[in-house]
């Protein structure tokens, strides 16, 4: 039985270095009878044998990095990342925590200038996950890269925030600490057993503003929406955390990448739908993965930009490499340069991808709004929509209120001004009837007394006096009904004088009419 000998790692390593040396200046260093493709194929085979990757994943990495940088990445993936912790600012300060751990024999340093809460642990004489400070909730064991999405999200106090894929709760507790236990934070995860870890960490760290749910994140927008900010740290292939899970090297294939990319697109669209574009303080979505493959990052982001009313904004992270605007045959939106990529061989923590969206409309492109006339902005920036069967409920209530206010103002004006009441009585049905009869009487008078101008003039005065009498009777009725009002009492004396004037006018009119009748006799 023949057993293949293990490859000589020293020979493989030297051959890899020689091929990389040739490829760095291929036109001058290559052998005349060998093409670039042959050199690449030899390099792929040697890298897979030396580092233990399958050919599919190694091809993906060769497409993403030049050969010299790829070796640096592969070497960094062979080294464990340093242990980092995040200070729980709800219970202590980083300086006090560092001093307490140093007194217990822990060698540590700040994780970097970019973080105010992170500490990196080099070595320790006690288990970091079992110190009295840990049990008291003074810190959380958390990778340095996991701090980045929350920093990009930048949560504010008294906001309504969703962490769509939150287990085991590192990012959730970080968000709650920045919110200072105010507002409402929803921590969701699709796996019930993983959600138990969220509850345990929330209790240990003293978080009181968080609601834990176990729902499919892809359907979460149908359950509840209107959040100020949403964090979508989507499940991925894990190509950025190979040092934690070496099985990724040989276990991932094209189907796994496509399956992850499909789920990430659905989760990202659901996260955008959960966000309220009219939020006064937010309207932001942060998408992050622990993968370095463009299929799970830039391709997913570009897909969301084309299907939702969002745009990319700066993440607020002043380090890391820019996102890719082109990759192989793909050409992405230029704004993808605002995304940030982090690599183990450059930043000394896990590979990560972070981008930040700003939602500017709740309307989905290509879909007409269900009822655009009934969307109302309220003080809490949530969209209030009426039922589909009553499209004008809001507008109808406003019209009724305006009518009621107008009636009240008119009634108040009539109480304070009796003259206006008597003037408006000219349009009443009784006055219109009298005027109509007066016009008919005028026509008859003209027909019967057209030969006598004096009699015609007397008849006109008779009709006018009857109209004035009806006016005065109407004004009396209005004054009687408004005697108990405050405005009428204030003008009571004035009203009596005006009524006397009306009576005098009526008497004079009757006297003239009587004299005219007498003269006609």
CA distance linking residue 441 with residue 28, whole number of Å = 121
CA distance linking residue 201 with residue 190, whole number of Å = 17
Known binder of ligand: residue 507? Answer: no
Tokens of 493: 């004396």
DSSP-derived letter for residue 85 is E
Tokens of 255: 């189907």
What does each C-alpha distance from 503 to 20, 460, 492, 507 come to in angstroms? 118, 19, 17, 6
CA distance linking residue 188 with residue 267, whole number of Å = 12
Known binder of ligand: residue 365? Answer: no
Known binder of ligand: residue 236? Answer: no
CA torsion sign, 194 to 359 to 337 to 119?
Answer: negative
CA distance linking residue 462 with residue 455, whole number of Å = 11
CA distance linking residue 195 with residue 143, whole number of Å = 19
Known binder of ligand: residue 166? Answer: yes
Known binder of ligand: residue 170? Answer: yes
Which secondary structure element, helix H or strand E, spans residue 9, and what is its range? helix 9-24
CA distance linking residue 450 with residue 454, whole number of Å = 10
- The three-class DSSP label of residue 329 is coil
Tokens of 181: 């236990």
CA distance linking residue 104 with residue 88, whole number of Å = 19
Torsion on CA atoms 169, 173, 176, 178, rounded to nearest 10? -130
CA torsion sign, 166 to 301 to 218 to 365?
Answer: positive
Known binder of ligand: residue 100? Answer: no
Catalytic residues: 290
CA distance linking residue 211 with residue 218, whole number of Å = 18
Known binder of ligand: residue 423? Answer: no
CA distance linking residue 161 with residue 288, whole number of Å = 16
Known binder of ligand: residue 171? Answer: yes
Query: Across 251-290, where does the E strand assignment appear?
Result: 284-289
| Nearest in space to 117 (alpha carbons), one of 168, 151, 166 | 151
- The three-class DSSP label of residue 236 is coil
CA distance linking residue 188 with residue 165, whole number of Å = 6
| Nearest in space to 276 (alpha carbons), one of 171, 357, 372, 381 | 381
Which secondary structure element, helix H or strand E, spans residue 140, and what is its range? strand 139-141
Torsion on CA atoms 191, 282, 372, 395, rounded to nearest 10? 120
Buried (b) or exposed (e) across 7-41, using 16+ Cβ within 10 A? eeeeebeebbeebbebbeeeeeeeeeeeeeeebee
Q: How much of the chain is in helix, strand and coil states, percent to nearest 5?
A: 55, 15, 30
What backbone phi and psi angles, to 5 degrees, belong to 187? Answer: -110, 110
Tokens of 150: 């929350």
Known binder of ligand: residue 168? Answer: yes
* Binding site, annotated residues for S-adenosyl-L-methionine: 165-171, 189, 216, 233
Output the known binding site: 165-171, 189, 216, 233
């Amino acid at each position: 039985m023949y057993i293949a000998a293990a490859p000589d790692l020293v020979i493989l390593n030297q051959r890899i270095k020689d091929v990389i040396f040739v490829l760095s200046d291929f036109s001058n260093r290559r052998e005349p009878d060998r093409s670039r493709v042959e050199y690449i194929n030899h390099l792929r085979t040697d890298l897979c044998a030396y580092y233990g990757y399958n050919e599919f994943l190694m091809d993906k990495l060769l497409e993403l990095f030049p050969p010299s940088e790829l070796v640096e990445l592969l070497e960094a993936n062979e080294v464990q990342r340093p242990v980092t912790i995040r200070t729980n600012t709800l219970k202590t300060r980083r300086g006090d925590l560092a001093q307490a751990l140093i007194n217990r024999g822990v060698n540590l340093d700040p994780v970097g200038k970019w973080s105010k809460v992170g500490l990196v642990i080099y070595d320790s004489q006690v288990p970091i996950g079992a110190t009295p400070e840990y049990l008291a909730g003074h810190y959380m064991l958390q990778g340095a890269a996991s701090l980045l999405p929350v920093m990009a999200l930048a949560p504010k106090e008294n906001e309504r925030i969703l962490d769509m894929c939150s287990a085991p709760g590192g990012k959730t507790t970080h968000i709650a600490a920045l919110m200072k236990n105010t507002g409402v934070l929803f921590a969701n995860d699709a796996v019930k057993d993983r959600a138990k870890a969220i509850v345990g960490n929330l209790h240990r760290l003293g978080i009181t503003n968080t609601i834990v749910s176990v729902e499919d994140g892809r359907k979460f927008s149908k359950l509840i929406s209107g959040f100020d900010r949403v964090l979508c740290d989507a499940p991925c292939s894990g190509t950025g955390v190979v040092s934690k899970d070496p099985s990724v090297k040989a276990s991932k294939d094209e189907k796994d990448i496509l399956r992850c990319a499909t789920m990430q697109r659905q989760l990202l669209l659901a996260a955008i739908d959960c966000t309220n574009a009219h939020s006064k303080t937010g309207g932001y979505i942060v998408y992050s993965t622990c993968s370095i493959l463009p299929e799970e990052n830039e391709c997913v982001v570009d897909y969301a930009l084309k299907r939702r009313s969002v745009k990319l904004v700066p993440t607020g992270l002043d380090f890391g490499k820019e996102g890719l605007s082109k990759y192989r045959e793909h050409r992405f939106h230029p704004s993808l340069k605002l995304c940030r990529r982090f690599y183990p061989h450059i930043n000394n923590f896990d590979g990560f991808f972070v981008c930040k969206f700003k939602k500017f409309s709740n309307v989905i492109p290509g879909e007409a709004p269900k009822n655009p006339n009934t969307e109302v902005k309220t003080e809490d920036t949530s969209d209030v929509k009426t039922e589909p069967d009553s499209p004008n409920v809001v507008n109808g209530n406003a019209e009724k209120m305006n009518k009621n206010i107008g009636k009240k103002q008119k009634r108040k004006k009539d109480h304070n001004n009796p003259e206006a009441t008597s003037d408006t009585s000219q349009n009443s049905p009784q006055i219109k009837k009298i005027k109509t009869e007066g016009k008919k009487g005028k026509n008859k008078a003209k027909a019967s007394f057209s030969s006598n101008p004096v009699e015609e003039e007397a008849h006109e005065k008779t009709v006018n006096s009857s109209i004035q009498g009806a006016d005065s009777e109407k004004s009396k009725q209005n004054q009687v009904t408004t005697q108990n009002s405050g405005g009428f009492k204030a003008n009571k004396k004035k009203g009596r004088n005006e009524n006397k004037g009306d009576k005098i006018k009526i008497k004079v009119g009757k006297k003239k009419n009587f004299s005219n009748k007498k003269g006609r006799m």
